[in-house]
């Protein structure tokens, strides 16, 4: 079938259920797509062809027997290399971890498997996913599918690149400061960071982090909702998990958004420089929102302190300190990025007082956000201050020479919602004049994930982006 690689998960699952397409045919087409495009992208870093075909045959057997089929029966998906699958590569993109394998199956994997999904492989990321790019010593750089030699973003860069390029319709990403939304914006895909506790998380040894999330990366909004239906729900593996907020995310995306109150902010009140072309592309979306009946107002939260510094001192550096004792960092220069070593050095000097002060700022952020959102249902902004930039650049050009903290955080409009633990979603907004994707971000109150997906689905209908993938 022509363009099978561009069919959404919802359509593939329907065709498998109706016996219009076998899972083996899907597997063979997926492997052919990997052969055709992955050598240029370096997005998928582990594939077991025999296992894929064997799994496909078993899934076909279930169809032939008339077994009950899960919601994604036969649909291909990938897992990021910092998410554990027992016995499979688990390096987190970190060269000193070369040869490591997972010791347990993460819930986000088992739930996709048990829903009938066809596991295809593991995806590329920078070492320990420490920044918003995808260039590392272990696997090398992943390439943006729309502009070779340019960043995919990160840290779920391989996931977003592979979805945009039609390797799989579904990919697991994870997000500590924007790592689902950054690559989704730079690669032109849909990426959702859910509310804390909706999707089980076991990424770090500390099970109580409220800024780390697994999230779906897809080409369509319906596919993101479908993944959320598979994933959401309580788990003994994660003490933060909550009951599914809606009976069905897929069902909840139906309906219009007339009367929805939306605040538009150019920079989320952070004061960071936003590329004028990126801003213009995102603002162009506002007229479509108005056409949909959304009430758009320009307004920004007024944070009471430096939230970038609070993110760094209170969350980012302390989280990476959890792996500090596992390695002799002073001996690793040349094997890992110097900037990651600098984060570990910051962990040595960041004090409990620094963490405490940052925690207070985070609490005040919550107060500001909840008061602000009394007047709005959704807060929208550019996802990022920049479109993709060439490999070898750690950040947009205007941040070169700044501190590691500024280069990592000060072009992101994603991390405030990690600090707030509320849902945030990016969808494609358009392309720059030289064909680099741009994303627009929507955020809402906690447990309003379905509302964001419904808004995005309405925008997708009036401002479709699916044809863009045909150029890859």
pLDDT category of residue 303 using cuts at 50, 70 and 90: very high
pLDDT category of residue 412 using cuts at 50, 70 and 90: very high
Q: Which two tokens stand for residue 157?
A: 């860069």
Looking at the chain, the whole-number percentage of residues with pLDDT higher than 90 is 98
Stretch 386-392: mean pLDDT, rounded?
Answer: 98
Report the C-alpha gap between 141 and 117 in whole angstroms: 28
pLDDT attached to residue 204: 85
Q: What is the pLDDT of residues 354-383, one digit of tens each?
A: 999 999 999 999 999 999 999 999 999 999
What's the maximum distance between 2 C-alpha atoms anywhere in the chain?
62
pLDDT attached to residue 284: 97
Stretch 290-304: mean pLDDT, rounded?
Answer: 98
pLDDT attached to residue 17: 98
Report the C-alpha gap between 273 and 402 in whole angstroms: 14
Residue 422: pLDDT over 90: yes
Q: Which two tokens stand for residue 459?
A: 């925008």
Report the C-alpha gap between 224 and 427 in whole angstroms: 11
Residue 205: pLDDT over 90: no
Q: Which DSSP helix (H) or strand (E) runs through 79? A: strand 76-80
pLDDT attached to residue 105: 97
pLDDT attached to residue 1: 75
Residue 143: pLDDT over 90: yes
Mean pLDDT of the chain: 98
Strand partners, 190: 218
pLDDT category of residue 453 using cuts at 50, 70 and 90: very high
Domain extent listing, the chain? 4-471
CA distances from 282 to 73, 306, 318 (A): 36, 25, 34
Q: What is the pLDDT of residues 43-81, one digit of tens each?
A: 999 999 999 999 999 999 999 999 999 999 999 999 999
The catalytic site residues sit at: 80, 155, 179
pLDDT attached to residue 142: 98
- In 155-244, the DSSP E strands lie at 170-175, 190-193, 213-218
Superfamily of domain 4-471: Amidase signature (AS) domain (3.90.1300.10)
Q: What is the pLDDT of residues 218-229, one digit of tens each?
A: 999 999 999 999
Residue 405: pLDDT over 80: yes
Strand order through the sheet with 170-175: 44-46, 118-123, 76-80, 170-175, 213-218, 190-193, 424-431, 437-443, 378-382, 261-264, 295-298
Is the whole model's pTM more than 0.85, yes or no? yes
pLDDT attached to residue 426: 99
Q: Which DSSP helix (H) or strand (E) runs through 12? A: helix 9-17
pLDDT attached to residue 275: 98
pLDDT attached to residue 33: 98
Contact 453, 221 (CB under 8 A): yes
Looking at the chain, the whole-number percentage of residues with pLDDT higher than 70 is 100
């Amino acid at each position: 079938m022509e363009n099978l690689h561009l069919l959404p998960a919802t359509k593939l699952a329907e065709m498998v259920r109706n016996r219009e397409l076998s899972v083996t045919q899907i597997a063979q087409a997926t492997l052919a797509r990997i052969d055709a495009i992955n050598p240029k992208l370096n997005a998928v870093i582990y594939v077991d062809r025999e296992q894929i075909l064997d799994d496909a045959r078993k899934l076909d057997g279930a169809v032939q027997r008339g077994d009950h089929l899960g919601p994604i029966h036969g649909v291909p998906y990938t897992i990021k290399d910092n998410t554990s699958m027992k016995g499979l590569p688990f390096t987190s993109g970190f060269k000193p971890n070369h040869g490591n394998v997972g010791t347990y199956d993460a819930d986000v994997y088992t739930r996709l498997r048990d829903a009938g999904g066809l596991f295809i492989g593991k995806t590329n990321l920078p070492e320990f996913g420490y920044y918003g790019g995808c260039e590392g010593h272990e696997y090398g750089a992943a390439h943006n599918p729309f502009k070779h030699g340019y960043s995919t973003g990160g840290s779920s860069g391989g996931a977003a690149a592979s979805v945009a390029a039609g390797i799989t319709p579904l990919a697991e990403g994870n997000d500590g400061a924007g790592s689902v939304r950054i690559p989704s914006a730079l690669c032109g895909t849909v990426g959702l960071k859910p509310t804390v506790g909706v999707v089980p998380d076991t990424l770090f040894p500390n099970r109580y982090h409220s800024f780390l999330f697994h999230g779906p990366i897809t080409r369509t909004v319906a596919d993101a909702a479908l993944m959320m239906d598979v994933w959401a729900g309580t788990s003994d593996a994660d003490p933060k998990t909550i009951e599914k907020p809606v009976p069905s995310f897929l069902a909840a995306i139906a309906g219009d958004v007339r009367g929805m109150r939306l605040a538009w902010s150019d920079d989320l009140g952070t004061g960071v420089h936003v590329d004028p072309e990126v801003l213009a592309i995102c603002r162009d979306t506002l007229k479509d929102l108005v056409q949909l009946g959304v009430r758009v107002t320009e307004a920004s939260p007024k944070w009471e302190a430096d939230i970038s510094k609070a993110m760094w001192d209170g969350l980012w550096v302390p989280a990476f300190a959890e792996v500090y004792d596992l390695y002799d960092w002073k001996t690793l220069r040349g094997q890992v990025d110097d900037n990651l070593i600098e984060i570990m050095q910051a962990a040595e000097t960041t004090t409990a007082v620094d963490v405490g002060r940052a925690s207070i700022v985070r609490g005040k952020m919550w107060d500001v956000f909840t008061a602000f959102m009394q007047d709005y249902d959704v807060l929208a902004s550019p996802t990022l201050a920049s479109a993709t930039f060439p490999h070898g650049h750690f950040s947009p050009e205007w941040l070169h020479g700044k501190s590691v903290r500024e280069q990592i955080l000060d072009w992101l409009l994603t991390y405030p919602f990690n600090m707030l633990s509320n849902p945030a979603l990016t969808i494609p907004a358009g392309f720059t004049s030289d064909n680099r994707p741009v994303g627009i971000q929507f955020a809402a109150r906690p447990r309003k994930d379905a509302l964001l997906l419904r808004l995005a689905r309405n925008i997708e209908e009036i401002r479709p982006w699916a044809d863009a993938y045909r150029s890859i």
